[in-house]
Structures are given as structure tokens and as C-alpha cells.
């Protein structure tokens, strides 16, 4: 069985502002928007997310902010995305850094306080005797 990518639901308060931020600061494409019901779809690469307003989420009970983990393929990709988002004026907490729990990561936020954890899992890298 092929397990598909998940499509998280990201809570937003102002759909127009969120769509502009995801497009202009984070580089997502806006696939479609049904602002009359409070639902929109944005994608970048293999990642697809649904932005939803409180009215749309009223039946599900989903509240924000949320944390989205984005697992990139190597440290270079983490650095490149950091540079791109930083240049675009995205809200970033700190530059990428290697953590003791073996993640090379940085955190970014959208205007609603939803967090992106951008990381590469260094545990996949070959270990030398000095790193064991």
C-alpha cells in the first residue's frame, strides 16, 4: 500500500492576508480559494495545505495555532529555504542550527502564530567513531 502525503488544515483568521503571506513570504502557490466558505488550498512541491477560517472549522473543533513539521532531504535544503524565506520577509525565530537531538532546524511563523519546523534529521548521516 502506498501511503499518501497528508494535507494539514491550517487555521487562519484573515483568509486574504493568509493567502498573501503563504504566496509572497513562503512561496506557496494558491491552487484555489473559496473565501465565501473560508477554505483555500495552497501547495509547494509535494506539500499541500488547506487554510481554513473559524467559520469553516466550527463543526470540527480544530483550533490554532498548530505546528507543521517539514522534513527536507539535507542541510543544504534547510539553509536554502531559510535564506529564501528570510529574504522574503517571513517571520523566522532563528537561523538553522544543529540540535543535540540530531535535527538541523529552524522555526518560522505565519501571521496567525502557526509554526513551521523546518528540519533535516541528521541521524540518517553516516556516523564516524567520534560521533557515536
- The answer to whether the beta carbons of residues 45 and 27 sit under 8 Å apart is no
- pLDDT by residue (tens digit) across 71-118? 999 999 999 999 999 999 999 999 999 999 999 999 999 999 999 999
| DSSP one-letter code for 62 | -
Give this prediction's pTM. 0.89
Other Cβ atoms less than 10 A from the Cβ of 99: the count is 11
- Model confidence at 13: pLDDT above 80: yes
Angle at 6 between CA 4 and CA 12, to 5 degrees: 160
Question: Percent helix, strand, coil in the chain (nearest 5)?
Answer: 25, 35, 45
- Model confidence at 132: pLDDT above 60: no
Angle at 47 between CA 44 and CA 53, to 5 degrees: 90
With residue 39 as reference, give the H or E element that holds it: strand 39-44
User: Which domains are delineated in the chain?
Assistant: 9-124 (3.10.180.10)
- Model confidence at 57: pLDDT above 70: yes
Amino acid at each position: 500500500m502506498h501511503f499518501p502525503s497528508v494535507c494539514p488544515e491550517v487555521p487562519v483568521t484573515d483568509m486574504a492576508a493568509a493567502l498573501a503571506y503563504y504566496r509572497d513570504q513562503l512561496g506557496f502557490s494558491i491552487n484555489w480559494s473559496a473565501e465565501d466558505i473560508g477554505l483555500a488550498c495552497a501547495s509547494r512541491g509535494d506539500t499541500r495545505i488547506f487554510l481554513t477560517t473559524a467559520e469553516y472549522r466550527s463543526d470540527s473543533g480544530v483550533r490554532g495555532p498548530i505546528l507543521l513539521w517539514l522534513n527536507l532531504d539535507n542541510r543544504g535544503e534547510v539553509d536554502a529555504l531559510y535564506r529564501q524565506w528570510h529574504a522574503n520577509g517571513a517571520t523566522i525565530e532563528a537561523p538553522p542550527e544543529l540540535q543535540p537531538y540530531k535535527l538541523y532546524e529552524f522555526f518560522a511563523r505565519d501571521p496567525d502564530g502557526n509554526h513551521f519546523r523546518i528540519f533535516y534529521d541528521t541521524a540518517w548521516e553516516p556516523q564516524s567513531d567520534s560521533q557515536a
